[in-house]
Structure 1
Amino acid sequence: MYKQIFKTALVAATLALAACGKGGAEGASAADNEPVRISVGSYNLNNLPFFIADANGYFDQVGLKVQTENFAQGGSKVLQALVANSTDVAVGFYDHTIQMQAKRKDVVGFVLLSRNSGLVLAGREDGTFDPAKPETIKGQKVGITAPGSSSDFFVRHFLAQHDIPVDSIALIGVGSGAAAVAALEQGKIDLLVNYDPAATLITERKVGRIIIDARSDEGARQVYGGLYPTSVMYANRSFLEKRPEAAEKIARAQQMALRFIADNSAEDIVAVLPDAYVSGDRKTYAHAVENARAIFTTDGHFTPADLETPLKVLREFNKDVANTDIDLSRTFTNTFVERASAASTPAQP
């Protein structure tokens, strides 16, 4: 089944690229000189490869002009911007492509940055929630990055697994990073679902404790039943068809960033980031990078079998997804990362 999904995706992407090529190389070349608007939803570490590519000037190195914007309000805001065509490319979570297919919107992931969730559920030391007794979550104020985000889905998945109504808790958008940790510390929320660096900040500052941890492969399988791909570069299919060269350049820049993360220490990785990207002090942030290192891909490729996990999770509580025949092969393509890989591989003598 997974091989068929993968094959179908490659065929679809190849046909799309061939179609756009017939329109005239001159038009594509002219369009490729235009800046690409890239928006990112938060400073969570799942998006680190994008921050590295931006900070190290990799987009310039591959010959692509970009205009970046950080909404700092969660991935759902970035998704809205993409659908409204106020941005060209989003740094968001893969599960949004599934949601959009259910709404008949053709949104496609073309670089996978984070192969796993990276999410944790944390609470204060004096908290009363015990995952061994799921009903103890009732009445709790649960902080998430934003409504409609993957942290939101995490909570809804837990509730669905235990037949607990969503209205038995209060879901509160608190953003990510230090702001999210402050909400827990100040008692504005009882529980927090978030990513690193928030997860590491909570433990290092002794604000609370990690109750459920899906950062590791084992933890993700316990929470979701499988790996849960998260951060991707995604765009409307129309953009990928109109500007395939730009998409390939983005893939090349992100592969450079992923190699940088794999080849360098956490301290060296943090050293290249501007202060705006760093939550808390750099030493603590470096610990967060090390804790999150396992979630990153090595080259941006999607593994089709892993994409079944977010689809299964969304079907538990998203009626649109549950009632739609989702074709996963249309939610992603490996075409551009494969072209980028081929371009960076030295020719054999």
Structure 2
Amino acid sequence: MITRRTFTSAAAFMAAGVAAPSLWAQGKPEKTKLAIAVGGKAAFYYLPLTISEQLGYFKAEGLDVEISDFAGGARALQALVGGSADVVSGAYEHTINMQSKGQMIQSIVLQGRAPQIAVGVSTKNMANYKTLADLKGKKIGVSAPGSSTNMVANLILSRGGLKASDVSFVGVGTSAGALAALRSGQIDAMSNTDPVMTMLEQKGDVKIISDTRTLKGTQEVFGGNMPAACLYTSAEFVQKNPNTCQALANAIVHGLKWLQTAGPSDIIKTVPDNYLLGDRALYLASFNKIREAISLDGMMNEEGARTALKALASFDPAIKADKIELSKTYTNDFARKAKDRFKA
């Protein structure tokens, strides 16, 4: 398992110039039984993970994967740092945040090429909403404090001249609990993923004020491509377990390839029933909205990594853009081989 000591020694591994993973010959995974942490697995944000799991793609690569679902990405990250998880299916920007704290983690395969996060205000609690300044003093629901949904909310608030301390963030998860929190009036606004946000939008419960569920919307909010979900782990784990990382990338890219041609009925048959949140039609409407946000081949875009760093640095003074080595936050070595294998 990964420990806090692992992270501090990871920098030494990289500084020592250990051979890049692409130089290793492929073979049997060094570690076959893996614990993967995820924050809000039912969200479309993590659909590639669910597809690869449900269709047996991890098993096909010789991996015995146990996936633990947490309330949000920040808690999944804590599982990695604390040693109860080997790998996280989570937001890419955590790799930048952790490097700013001297802890090296690395993305090994991308799942989403747009954040798929929308911010909306309650039409019940904030019927007279006009500008971002109106959010001051309000309660904003996020999947979990410190998660990607929280980061996007922080960015949007900063553009309205507000700081994170000007509002109260409330963890509501990414499924039925999030719907209930907004509809019951417990929160005044929400930053969350689909299918939750589309369901609230379609029922008239929220007014969307910022939207990154499409590539166009992502460009408008971030000014460029913005990577989203990925599989990430400690830099040391990557160095010690290249075949395992390749197997993980293979499984995810296999799922991404399947998603390229999957129809609505294929999705419905594959995901667990409780993911539909009781509304099959709206679930499929949500899927159609975010479909283009799913990565095609698992490859990280360099421009996207720069956009993520710029966005984080714009509202978090602890992140110094000139101190971050983006090349150490991700590797495309595994995804590139998987892309070639599956013709993704």
Query: How do 1:218-257 and structure 2 match up within 5 A?
Result: 218-257=216-255
User: Aligned to 2:62, what secondary structure does the other structure show?
Assistant: coil
Shift of 1:240: 1.2
Native 8 Å contact 1:144 1:174 kept in 2 = yes
Native 8 Å contact 1:316 1:322 kept in 2 = no
Residue 54 of structure 2 corresponds to 55
TM-score, reference length from structure 1 = 0.87
Shift of 1:125: 2.3
Provide the C-alpha distance between the structure 1 equivalents of 2:85 and 2:47, rounded to a whole number of angstroms. 20
Provide the C-alpha distance between the structure 1 equivalents of 2:280 and 2:268, rounded to a whole number of angstroms. 7
**Residues 156-186 of structure 1: CA distance to partner in whole angstroms, max 9, x if unpaired?**
1122223223332221111112211111100
141, 156, 171: which one aligns with 2:154: 156
310, 313, 328: which one aligns with 1:312: 310
Residue 135 of structure 1 corresponds to 133
Shift of 1:133: 2.5
Query: How do 1:173-212 and structure 2 match up within 5 A?
Result: 173-212=171-210
Q: CA distance change for structure 1 residues 217 and 296 in 2, over 3 Å: closer, same or farther?
A: same
Q: CA distance change for structure 1 residues 344 and 139 in 2, over 3 Å: closer, same or farther?
A: closer
Residue 290 of structure 1 corresponds to 288
Query: How do 1:263-274 and structure 2 match up within 5 A?
Result: 263-274=261-272
Q: CA distance change for structure 1 residues 19 and 53 in 2, over 3 Å: closer, same or farther?
A: closer
User: What is the RMSD of the two structures over their aligned residues, measured on CA atoms?
Assistant: 2.3
Q: Which moved more, 1:243-252 or 1:210-219?
A: 210-219
User: Aligned to 1:320, what secondary structure does the other structure show?
Assistant: coil
Provide the C-alpha distance between the structure 1 equivalents of 2:182 and 2:192, rounded to a whole number of angstroms. 11
Runs of 4+ residues over 4 Å off in structure 1: 18-21, 129-132
Identity %: 31
Q: Which moved more, 1:40-49 or 1:272-281?
A: 272-281
User: Aligned to 1:66, what secondary structure does the other structure show?
Assistant: strand
User: Aligned to 1:229, what secondary structure does the other structure show?
Assistant: coil
**Residues 127-161 of structure 1: CA distance to partner in whole angstroms, max 9, x if unpaired?**
53778622111122111111111111112112222
Q: CA distance change for structure 1 residues 265 and 323 in 2, over 3 Å: closer, same or farther?
A: closer
Q: CA distance change for structure 1 residues 67 and 186 in 2, over 3 Å: closer, same or farther?
A: same
Shift of 1:217: 1.9
Identify unmatched segments of 5+ residues in structure 2: 1-15
Shift of 1:114: 0.4
Residue 7 of structure 1 corresponds to none
Native 8 Å contact 2:29 2:244 kept in 1 = no
- Alignment of 1:301 onto 2:305: no
Q: CA distance change for structure 1 residues 344 and 261 in 2, over 3 Å: closer, same or farther?
A: closer
**Residues 74-117 of structure 1: CA distance to partner in whole angstroms, max 9, x if unpaired?**
00011111112211110000000001111111100011100011
Native 8 Å contact 1:129 1:136 kept in 2 = no
240, 256, 266: which one aligns with 1:258: 256
Q: CA distance change for structure 1 residues 137 and 186 in 2, over 3 Å: closer, same or farther?
A: same
User: Aligned to 2:108, what secondary structure does the other structure show?
Assistant: strand
Provide the C-alpha distance between the structure 2 equivalents of 1:151 and 1:130, rounded to a whole number of angstroms. 24
Native 8 Å contact 2:182 2:188 kept in 1 = yes
User: Aligned to 2:253, what secondary structure does the other structure show?
Assistant: helix
Provide the C-alpha distance between the structure 1 equivalents of 2:302 and 2:171, rounded to a whole number of angstroms. 31
- Alignment of 1:15 onto 2:14: no
Residue 44 of structure 1 corresponds to 43
Provide the C-alpha distance between the structure 1 equivalents of 2:312 and 2:29, rounded to a whole number of angstroms. 40
User: Aligned to 2:323, what secondary structure does the other structure show?
Assistant: coil
Shift of 1:342: 3.3
Native 8 Å contact 1:119 1:193 kept in 2 = yes
User: Aligned to 1:15, what secondary structure does the other structure show?
Assistant: coil
Shift of 1:218: 2.1
User: Aligned to 1:39, what secondary structure does the other structure show?
Assistant: strand
- Alignment of 1:328 onto 2:326: yes
Native 8 Å contact 1:224 1:309 kept in 2 = yes
Letter matched to residue 51 of structure 2: I
Letter matched to residue 111 of structure 2: L
Native 8 Å contact 1:106 1:236 kept in 2 = yes
